[in-house]
Amino acid sequence: MERAALLERLSLPRAPIRWRTVTASEVIDETAQARTIVLDVPDWPGHAAGQHVDVRLTAEDGYQAQRSYSIASAPEDARVALTVERLEDGEVSPYLAGELRVGDEIEIRGPIGGHFTWRVQDGGPLLLIGGGSGLVPLMAMLRHRAAQGSDVEARLLLSARSLDDVFYRDELAGLDDVAIHYTLTRSRPEGWTGYARRVDAEMLAEVGAAPSERPLVFVCGPTAFVEQVADGLVALGHPPDAIHTERFGPTGS
């Protein structure tokens, strides 16, 4: 078993880590606080859904700030898309989500990460649970699944403050063969029939898939959200090894 794991690691290509200067070719408003930045990346080595890139900005005085952002686009897409939510006290996100214009250049390196990834050949069922902008890497997985014409059973449970805070809403609505559940924690449209509370074990049990179906689970969101969800999943009997998590810090959903 360990030998197999070692050989698998040996077969991975040497990770590309050089910084490259890339150009924003499109900017798409997702919500009042978030934008998708589409980048032209010549010689992009390709990525797996769930991976991220590091973004580096350099000020005129030489000061550099660097952050990691999940890739939103599918590996099959020609361009690399990042969706960035503006954090009020952020150093990088206010620029990316607010000031950057088409034609501007930024530095990125990647793709990076091998722990929070899914490829269609990994199979399913797939259970994706996102809090706020934690949807981004999960969306890359759904886009990859769609691009491959995969029939792997997939569910998405997304926690957001309100419907207006949900990224990619129209695209999600078009994913007919994905069971999508929203829970809106702060405000609901009139007549809302979906969930209206923080994710808990009861909600996770209703959404499924049951532990007996051995789903591959991916949870991404603020640290406290991921903790709560992972605890709930383990309480329901999901093996910890099947639960992949990615935390992006203390910003709430």
Partner 1 sequence: MSEKALWLDGNGLAGLLVEVFGAEMTAVRRRCQSCGQRHAIGSHRLYRGAGDVLRCPNCGDLALRIAALPDRHLVEVRGTWRMAVPRD
Instruction: Show contacts with partner 1 in window 150-189 (CB under 8 A).
Output: none
- d(CA 4, CA 179) in angstroms, rounded, equals 34
Token pair listed for 252: 């709430």
Q: Which helix (H) or strand (E) element contains residue 155? A: strand 154-160
What is the closest distance, in whole angstroms, from the C-beta atom of residue 165 to partner 1 in the complex?
16
132 neighbors 229 (Cβ within 8 angstroms): no
Range in contact with partner 1 (rule: CB under 8 A) among 24-32, 94-102, 152-160, 216-224: 216-224
Look at residue 123 and give its three-state secondary structure: coil
Tell me whether residue 109 or residue 169 sits nearer to partner 1 (CB atom). Answer: 109
Site for partner 1 in 105-144 (CB under 8 A): 109-110, 112-116
Stretch binding partner 1 (CB under 8 A), from 118-126, 149-157, 175-183, 240-248:
240-248
Q: Choose between 51 and 150: whose C-beta lies nearer to partner 1.
A: 51
Residue owning tokens 């890339």:
22
The one segment of 9-17, 75-83, 125-133, 206-214 that binds partner 1 by CB under 8 A: 9-17
Q: Measured from the CB atom, is 64 or 187 closer to partner 1?
A: 64
Place of tokens 């209703």: 206
DSSP letter at 195 equals B
Residue that the structure tokens 């992949």 belong to: 244
Round to whole Å and give the CA distance between 167 and 172: 9
Query: Would you say 142 and 178 are in contact if contact means Cβ atoms under 8 Å apart?
Result: yes
> Could you tell me the two tokens for 128?
């994706």
With CB under 8 A as the contact rule, the residue among 1, 4, 10, 32 that binds partner 1 is 10
52 contributes a contact to partner 1 by CB under 8 A: yes
Enumerate binding residues for partner 1 (CB under 8 A).
Answer: 2, 5-6, 9-10, 12-15, 17, 52, 54, 66, 68, 109-110, 112-116, 198, 222-228, 244-250, 252
